[in-house]
Amino acid sequence: MSLKGARERRVRTGGIELCVAELGDPGRPTVVLVHGYPDSKEVWSQVAVQLAERRGFHVVLYDVRGHGRSTAPRPLRGGFTLAKLTDDFLAVADAVSPDRPVHLVGHDWGSVQSWEFVTVARTRGRIASFTSMSGPSLDHFGHWIDARVKRPTPRRVGQLLGQGAKSWYVYLLHTPALPELAWRGPLGRQWPKLLQRAEKLPAGDYPTSSLPSDAAHGAWLYRDNVRARLRRPRPDAYSHVPVQLITPQGDAFLSERLYDDLERWAPRLTRRTLPAKHWIPRSRPDQLVSWIDEFVTGVEKGRTATAPDVRHTDRFHGQLVLVTGAGSGIGRATALRFAQSGARVVAVDRDSGSAARTAESAVLAGAPAAWAETVDVADEQAMEKLAERVHREHGVVDVLVNNAGIGLSGSFFTTTSADWRRVLDVNLWGVIHGCRLFGARMLERGQGGHIVNIASAAAYQPSRALPAYGTSKAAVLMLSESLRAELASRDIGVTAICPGFIDTGITSAARFTGVDEDEERRLRERAAMLYGKRNYPPEKVAEAILDAVVHDRAVVPVTPEARSMHLLSRFAPRVLRRIARVQPRL
């Protein structure tokens, strides 16, 4: 995706010319995108086009002085100070939106300089909001360092050393002539491939051919500002606009700890996190567009409050989460927990009334939107139609939870072929259908995602009473491990959740083979009573699911007995085999 069709103009300021591109209706709210180092404005191409064409904003991008098609100051030394970069921004803002404040979005050095814009007095009234990603204020950074040097603790010293190691490139950029020689030579030629491999970016040409000169000129951004500002950070660097902070959790250059005290400097702060690396304008454009749209629209409507202080809101707010078997038990608890974190929820169940009730409760719990869908996960054609409908109406699912399942207990020899087919159709094939249909769209989008498959402690704990159920869950566990290996290079995580005895409604609908109806009814009631006495609620499983997605865990046993059996399966399997011989008494 390129900026083809954008309207270009030249803006003169301080003896240089800035190349400015515009998309969308100038009568709509203006969003100004500021690029980082060593990029040009084209790094924003996917974000800009979506904000203009799909979200209806007036989008403005400009090449920072000395980058892209903007001219460079002469001499270079002293030509890239934050004061001069602020002059450039005000010239652009006055040219593209003279009568209304603009919404500012910055990445990397675009964010560093934008922090200057939103904390100096002369820009007051020209900026409506600021979305920052992967670039701290140098003033805030200076105070952060100061606090750790003057009031050291083991934890603070560790943070300081950790960020010091991440900042290795800053030291190199201060060396005379060497960065320019490298960028105009082998580094400039190899950078697109290095970046593609390191950041897992889609294949293709680097957004701009001016990279060598952009990077050489941009070294002065560091030389003109970093040391001077870190030594003498401004004491009054408070933001005069609402701020949205988007933090990629895998950023190789910046520690998340840099932003621990940011509420001090930006009281109207909304936090977001992404499981991604540094270059999120290229790797996660869809999610950025969604968050920028929501934040800017909220500010335009006078809603400047920060996001609710609910655990994981920063990670899941606005994301699309689909949960199967969401009508009750673990599925319902999981759907509601994601809703509390601000996710949009698709509640899927074979019982339409149960699905509808979960969707209604999800909205009350905090979901921006929730929808109910009715489907039998064992029905491949129905699942294909569901996937197509969800993709068409709501977009690509960010988190998929394959939870739907049924219980079956009884001897192997009293379990009929029909029993085997039904439990495998739901417990295994339902998971396969979900992974294949929704996972394929995640893969096609190329912007990451996560798949959660609900297995069971029975997946690794053999039992003479659960041959079919245990087999189905063991298959789900192996499927999850194998799929995780395949999708790892595409930033799509896969987790197998293995609960133990959870107080859900699965026992009330479980089948018991080899007994008559009366005995089966008694066994169900007895199992339900025992699970109730165990009193381990599905809400705890739901919390484990969200934690597993946030931390990208592979296998998560839930409940003490599940964790104990998992350890035995690894270190004392013979003990598990002996336990498996015990006939459960119901």
- What residues are labeled active site? 469
Going 305 to 310 to 312 to 318, the CA torsion angle's sign is negative
Question: Do 470 and 476 meet the contact criterion of CB atoms below 8 Å apart?
Answer: no
CA–CA separation, 436 vs 400, rounded Å? 11
Other beta carbons less than 10 A from residue 285's beta carbon: 22
Which tokens belong to 575? 């003990």
Q: Which among 110, 65, 532 has a CA at the least distance from the CA of 288?
A: 110
Respond yes or no on whether the N-terminal peptide bond of residue 248 is cis (omega within 30° of 0).
Answer: no
Cα–Cα distances (Å) from 526 to 32, 70, 415, 503, 530, in that order, read: 64, 76, 20, 13, 6
Cis status of the peptide bond prior to 308, with omega within 30 of 0: no
Cα–Cα distance, 394 to 367 (Å, whole number):
14
The strand order across the sheet containing 344-349 reads: 370-374, 344-349, 320-324, 399-402, 449-454, 492-499, 555-558
User: How far is it, in rounded angstroms, from Cα 9 to Cα 32?
Assistant: 14
Burial (CB count <10 Å: 0-12, 13-18, 19+), residue 464:
middle
496: helix, coil or strand? strand
